[in-house]
Structure 1
Amino acid sequence: MIFTVFAAQLLRVQGLDAASVSQQAFSERANRVTIPAMRGEVVDADGITLARSVERRNITADPLAASTWVKRDRQPDGSVKKTKMGLKGAAEAIAAIVGADPAALSSSLQRAETQNRRFLYLVKDVSPQQWTQVSDLRIPGIFSERTVKREYPQGTSVAPLIGWVGADGSPGGGIEAMQNRRLNGKPGTHVYERAADGTVIATADNSDTPAVDGKPVQLTINNDLQWTAQNLIAAQVKSTKSLSGEAVVTDVKGNIVAAASYPSFDNNQIASAKGSLLSRPFADAYEPGSTSKVITMAAALEEGKVTPQSVFTVPYQLERADQKFKDSHPHPTEKYTTAGILADSSNTGTIQVGEKLSPQVLRGYMNKFGLGVPTGVRFPGESSGYVPPVDKLKGPTRYTVMFGQGVSGNSMQQVSVFQTIANGGVREPLKLVKGVGDGSGGYTAAQDDRVAVQVVSPKVAGEVSRMLQSVVGEGGTAPKAAVPGYNVAGKTGTAERYDEKTRRYAGYTASFIGFAPAEKPQYIVSVTLQRPQAVSIYGGEIAAPVFSQLMQAALRHGHVPPSSSKPTLYDLKYVPPKSEKQ
């Protein structure tokens, strides 16, 4: 009986406890390292890289092990010369490869050794090639951790749109935040055994749980047009001493081809970035001014209240709601047509057209055209703008919203208004993401449950388009927006600018939005300058020339043929019949 108990105890110690002891020993030797996942690339519509992840290495050190380094050099006669290098020699050898200060590395190693520390980060963010050279030195206790660094090859031209990734791997705005679920991968784990002297046990049971990389995302953006837009708006902001500027290009189906804003920042150096890091075309809502007259005119035409040739007596000054409204420039009382009111950008004329609509109806059209509602792009930091509720559309506000004051929207919303007119009265949802990686090197079209909306009839859209072509003509407010060889439709905007910080109006917003070719639109371009302080405050003077240059670039990019004939324009002023002339 005693022998049986002894045998059973011996079996437990040798068998069962052996496994437990072995597991404990493994746990003491095991090291677990996170294998970072590669974040998906962001590319433009043609596959040009806008954001990518690259492998980097952090060099770590076990000073106690590194202090034993003996350099072995094979001599010509075949013998091996041994030289004790120690921590100082290790620091000098590593510094020579990575471009670090050898004295600083040596100090870090010696301080850690004094404190009996077995781990420290010696050098961070070195290339895999540099690590290979360091590894070839075979210094005991010198290892590396694989890490991932985000790079942005296009820099400032697209930074507010793309956003950035912080040092902790979290996205910071733009596409990086908007598409984080798709771009972000799942880290893996590397488990390995290390001996007491810090060296990896090559024959041990090392195992990996592989990382799963993120999916690439393709945008509708064209990198070349984005670069052009960024440079044009940056130059004009500087020339006019504006607070900021924005330039947007979309195609007629609502694909965002360029979305530039200035000032910008370098998302490769996010720690030193200053000012707003948001994409202004989405984030900055402003009172558009006269570009919003397009909504008033289209609504009145659609409701059958006016025709393009309806005649109005248009004074320089008009009193409504106990307030005097004026046009931008003094002029004698004129007999303008509806088309002439739009071409001359008359506030007093627009009021006479707009007051034919009830506040409820006009507000409904503002919403249908996209003002006061999100674009649906779901871009981080996007502003929905503001359209007063119906019960607030009384007194002076009843009239100011007709010419774009007292109502606000971002540049994307303003572009959407003109895209609707250019597209036969159909407002297409604005689109920024073209596709998501399918795992086979291609892209699957982005899922989108938004639908196009018929805002006005094709007939009315055509009438408004024809009216807008006069704006760029000789009698209009923006001849500088003309594009050689193409018929252009567009509208200037010069609005008093509301300053959120001071809670009062200060300065102006100057803009121009238009499309071309007017007879078969392909691209819509918007240019906006906030608080210009030099050259001019008028959109026709400072925004229109940038529009012309950017539209030319877009048309070249799209290989769009020139217009084959000049447009037939509406009369801008009342022309009495022959019987009246006699």
Structure 2
Amino acid sequence: MTQTRGTRPGAPRPRPAHGDAPRRRPAEGASAGKERIAAAKAGRPASGAPRTRTSAPRPTRTAAPRATRPTAPPRRPTGRRVSLDGSNPRRRMRTMTVAILFVFSIFGAQLLRLQGFDASAVSADAQTNRTATVPLPAMRGSIVDRNGTILASSIERRTVTVDQTAVPEYIKTVDGVRTTVGVAGAAQDLSPLLGIPVDDLVTKLTGTSRYRVLQKNITPLNWRKISELGINGIYSEATSDRNYPTSTAAASLVGFVQSDGSAGGGLEVLMDKTLKGKAGRTIFEQSQDGRAIPNARQETISPVPGKDVKLTIDSDLQWFAQNAVAQKVIETKALSGSVVVQSAKTGELLAVASYPTFDPNQPGQATENWTNSAFNDVYEPGSTGKVITAAAALEEKVVTPSEVVEVPNRIRRSGTEFKDSHDHPTEYLTFAGVLAQSSNIGTILAGEKVKASTMYDYFKRFGLGSTSGMGFPGEGPGLLTDYRDWSGSQRYTVLFGQGLSVNALQAAGVFQTIANDGVRVPPRIVSATSDGHGNYTPVEKAKGVEVVSPETAKKVRDMLEGVVGKEGTAPEAKIPGYRVAGKTGTADRYDAKVGGYSGKTSSFIGFAPADDPEIVVAVTLQRPIKGYFGGVVAGPVFKDVMTYALQELQIPPTGTRSPVVKVKADETPDPSDPTILRDKASAASRP
């Protein structure tokens, strides 16, 4: 029986007839499998694959039957490509499982890092993020005078703030019924306590801000009333307000504190480290909305108050000196004025007044006058500087107080003509008279006998050219040019107080040295600081330096008593019952704004009692218009302040009589007398 190939599928394949050569199946390997896959994709049959015949079936040849062998199943082609199109559910499941495991492995690694390796750091970051710190300002120490009178102190105050999101929940009892009154009710209740109109307060209470300042400098009593209202979202911060009871009297000396709590000038700056104390803080944990977490960690570090500072200043004397110089500045239409009151023996400053001034309780209203002119103004001292020349000449023994000096109307040095403050015929004055009548020419004749280098050394030893060492803000060192750089005329102008500059404190120090037997004691203004428990620790005192001998100092003191005598330049400074010594000064004033000299500097500096000095008073006025001679302008202020100081400090008169100071020679001396100090250089140049 024969059968055509390609008959019914699934029918058993017929055995080949006996004698027919069996058809051999092509060997199938990797290359054949790839060829069929490629052919299938191209839409054609692969080589070696069975093709469907279209011709008539060819009869098979029959053969004798033989034993049959079982047909081996076809082998799967090797190298067949695995389909990844996701049609296989098992493959898809395996892929998803691998992806999920990978993601979870990342989460696991991150969890291990957070809870294992970085646990401490992460915990610290979380703690920081939910921790809030509120600063607690320290109360600033007080400044008191020598008697404990307060010149500056800090008063507790509150800054009221608001959380605007909480105010609408404000509930109060109205006619016995608890009612939500919200922002409008809160504004009504707060307005009289904060001093803010209701309409303005409504605006400040409305919004979404969690923090806003409503009012500063609220007294503790007012804050207690505000707190008792129980308004939601109303809080306060502890602050302090600086108070100055003496107001303008010591403003430029004590200084002020700015609105941010920092020191703004004067002693507030000088002693800031001692006064400001150390701020504290409160640390607590807060929720995301900024509220404190109940029963959570809370820590308070209390602030350490600043220490008190005691000054050498006498507040009553400071007040009197301030008013005296202010009145004279206004009267003479001067630019400014200052008064320095100093202890002759200790160098302690008892008063340092300056005008114009300002109110330290309201520093924002002042635009200038914050500095103290006694420390900051630098000027040519004029005739008060002659005291240094006189002391140097006496100490070097080139002249005596009673030596007669021939004083012509003019002398010439280094191409410059010098004269006194007024024209006069040739006069014969004693050296004491030269100082009493403030003769420039007589001072030059005596001072030029001292070498320039030696004269410069005396200026330095009297404290010129350097600051006092106190460190007061803005203190100027003055100007003292090295003697090797002096011009020809400057060699002589410095002898009568021009060609160099000082501040009022330095000028007062010259007279303190003479009053203290020739020993200069650096000025000081701080006497002690508190230990925080009511006890004061004295500040170390500076050591004095001997500038001239006690004998020379006494000679100069006696000569200076002649200045306030009938023949002197300042009888206005004489105080009944007391021996007074001093010196006037009238100098051209250099004005940097105009780039030259403009107006005068008028001064008077003296001490009392003259035979046992206790107090030095220096009065200086800059550019007075109605009068400018030192004796007339500054002398009366000296008299008033010195009189008050002697009474305030309870210094009695010594009861001794003043020495007789001979100002002029008894008769015209013989021109050939070799003991007369005369202008030999000018005489030699005359024909």
State TM-score, norm by structure 1: 0.91
Query: Hey, what's the Cα distance between the residues in 1 that align with 2:294 and 2:445?
Result: 86
For residue 77 of structure 2, what is the aligned residue in structure 1?
none
- Larger CA Rg, structure 1 vs 2: 2
1:514 and 2:606 correspond: yes
| Change in 2 beyond 3 A, CA 1:15/1:140 | farther
Bigger relative CO (Cα 8 Å, ≥ 6 apart):
1
Query: Hey, what's the Cα distance between the residues in 2 that align with 1:98 and 1:396?
Result: 68
- What is the CA-CA distance between 1:28 and the residue it aligns to? 6.3
**Pairwise mapping of residues 131-142 of structure 1 onto structure 2 (< 5 A)?**
131-142=223-234
1:472 and 2:564 correspond: yes
For residue 102 of structure 1, what is the aligned residue in structure 2?
198
For residue 558 of structure 1, what is the aligned residue in structure 2?
649
For residue 435 of structure 2, what is the aligned residue in structure 1?
342
Match for residue 241 of structure 1 among 329, 333, 336? 333
Query: Hey, what's the Cα distance between the residues in 2 that align with 1:521 and 1:22?
Result: 73
For residue 139 of structure 2, what is the aligned residue in structure 1?
38
For residue 523 of structure 2, what is the aligned residue in structure 1?
430
- What is the CA-CA distance between 1:141 and the residue it aligns to? 1.0
**Pairwise mapping of residues 562-581 of structure 1 onto structure 2 (< 5 A)?**
562-575=653-666
Match for residue 404 of structure 1 among 477, 497, 501? 497
Q: Secondary structure at the match of 2:564?
A: coil
Q: Secondary structure at the match of 2:257?
A: coil
- What is the CA-CA distance between 1:192 and the residue it aligns to? 3.6
Give the letter aligned to residue 389 of structure 1: D
Query: Hey, what's the Cα distance between the residues in 1 that align with 2:303 and 2:668?
Result: 80
Query: Hey, what's the Cα distance between the residues in 2 that align with 1:13 and 1:174?
Result: 56
Q: Secondary structure at the match of 1:67?
A: helix
- Give yes or no for contact 1:141–1:198 (8 Å, CA) kept in 2: no
Q: Secondary structure at the match of 1:459?
A: helix
Give the letter aligned to residue 523 of structure 1: I
Give the letter aligned to residue 95 of structure 1: S
| Change in 2 beyond 3 A, CA 1:332/1:579 | closer
Moved more, 134-143 or 322-331: 322-331
**Pairwise mapping of residues 298-447 of structure 1 onto structure 2 (< 5 A)?**
298-447=391-540
Q: Secondary structure at the match of 1:95?
A: helix
- What is the CA-CA distance between 1:353 and the residue it aligns to? 0.8
Q: Secondary structure at the match of 1:31?
A: strand
| Per-residue deviation, residues 38-86 of structure 1 (Å, max 9, x unmatched) | 111111111111111111111111111111001036x7xxxx5212210
- Give yes or no for contact 2:270–2:473 (8 Å, CA) kept in 1: yes
Query: Hey, what's the Cα distance between the residues in 1 that align with 2:128 and 2:179?
Result: 35
Query: Hey, what's the Cα distance between the residues in 1 that align with 2:457 and 2:388?
Result: 10
For residue 187 of structure 2, what is the aligned residue in structure 1?
91
Query: Hey, what's the Cα distance between the residues in 1 that align with 2:455 and 2:118?
Result: 84
| Change in 2 beyond 3 A, CA 1:117/1:16 | farther
User: What runs of 5+ residues in structure 2 fail to find an aligned partner?
Assistant: 1-112, 672-687
Match for residue 167 of structure 2 among 61, 66, 69? 66
**Pairwise mapping of residues 201-280 of structure 1 onto structure 2 (< 5 A)?**
203-252=295-344, 253-280=346-373
| Per-residue deviation, residues 323-352 of structure 1 (Å, max 9, x unmatched) | 111111222211111100000000111110
- What is the CA-CA distance between 1:122 and the residue it aligns to? 1.6
Query: Hey, what's the Cα distance between the residues in 1 that align with 2:607 and 2:197?
Result: 58
For residue 6 of structure 1, what is the aligned residue in structure 2?
none
- What is the CA-CA distance between 1:393 and the residue it aligns to? 2.5
For residue 628 of structure 2, what is the aligned residue in structure 1?
537
Query: Hey, what's the Cα distance between the residues in 1 that align with 2:669 and 2:335?
Result: 53
| Change in 2 beyond 3 A, CA 1:26/1:65 | farther
User: What runs of 5+ residues in structure 1 fail to find an aligned partner?
Assistant: 1-11
Identity of aligned residues (%): 46
| Change in 2 beyond 3 A, CA 1:275/1:350 | same
Query: Hey, what's the Cα distance between the residues in 1 that align with 2:670 and 2:239?
Result: 85
For residue 297 of structure 1, what is the aligned residue in structure 2?
390
Give the letter aligned to residue 136 of structure 1: E
- What is the CA-CA distance between 1:206 and the residue it aligns to? 2.8
For residue 120 of structure 1, what is the aligned residue in structure 2?
212
- What is the CA-CA distance between 1:17 and the residue it aligns to? 12
Query: Hey, what's the Cα distance between the residues in 2 that align with 1:368 and 1:572?
Result: 29
Q: Secondary structure at the match of 2:361?
A: helix
Query: Hey, what's the Cα distance between the residues in 2 that align with 1:452 and 1:25?
Result: 62
| Per-residue deviation, residues 6-65 of structure 1 (Å, max 9, x unmatched) | xxxxxx999999999998887666432100011111111111111111111111111111
Give the letter aligned to residue 178 of structure 2: K
Q: CA RMSD in A?
A: 2.5
- Give yes or no for contact 1:335–1:573 (8 Å, CA) kept in 2: yes
Give the letter aligned to residue 405 of structure 1: Q
| Change in 2 beyond 3 A, CA 1:136/1:172 | same
| Change in 2 beyond 3 A, CA 1:18/1:83 | farther
Query: Hey, what's the Cα distance between the residues in 2 that align with 1:374 and 1:117?
Result: 53
- Give yes or no for contact 1:372–1:385 (8 Å, CA) kept in 2: yes
- Give yes or no for contact 1:140–1:198 (8 Å, CA) kept in 2: no
Query: Hey, what's the Cα distance between the residues in 2 that align with 1:356 and 1:395?
Result: 15
| Change in 2 beyond 3 A, CA 1:68/1:578 | closer
Give the letter aligned to residue 467 of structure 2: P
Give the letter aligned to residue 663 of structure 2: L
For residue 90 of structure 2, what is the aligned residue in structure 1?
none
For residue 5 of structure 1, what is the aligned residue in structure 2?
none
Q: Secondary structure at the match of 1:64?
A: coil
| Per-residue deviation, residues 252-291 of structure 1 (Å, max 9, x unmatched) | 1200000001011111111121223111111111001000
Query: Hey, what's the Cα distance between the residues in 2 that align with 1:121 and 1:296?
Result: 63
Give the letter aligned to residue 541 of structure 1: V
- What is the CA-CA distance between 1:204 and the residue it aligns to? 4.5
- Give yes or no for contact 2:428–2:668 (8 Å, CA) kept in 1: no
For residue 68 of structure 2, what is the aligned residue in structure 1?
none
For residue 9 of structure 1, what is the aligned residue in structure 2?
none
1:57 and 2:158 correspond: yes
- Give yes or no for contact 1:467–1:569 (8 Å, CA) kept in 2: no
| Change in 2 beyond 3 A, CA 1:327/1:183 | same
| Change in 2 beyond 3 A, CA 1:331/1:109 | same
Give the letter aligned to residue 49 of structure 1: I
Give the letter aligned to residue 429 of structure 1: P
Give the letter aligned to residue 50 of structure 1: L
Give the letter aligned to residue 451 of structure 2: S
Aligned residues: 559
| Per-residue deviation, residues 200-227 of structure 1 (Å, max 9, x unmatched) | 5665443201111111111111100000
Query: Hey, what's the Cα distance between the residues in 2 that align with 1:567 and 1:237?
Result: 32
| Change in 2 beyond 3 A, CA 1:131/1:15 | farther
Match for residue 282 of structure 2 among 173, 184, 190? 190
- Give yes or no for contact 2:114–2:122 (8 Å, CA) kept in 1: no
Query: Hey, what's the Cα distance between the residues in 2 that align with 1:31 and 1:107?
Result: 28
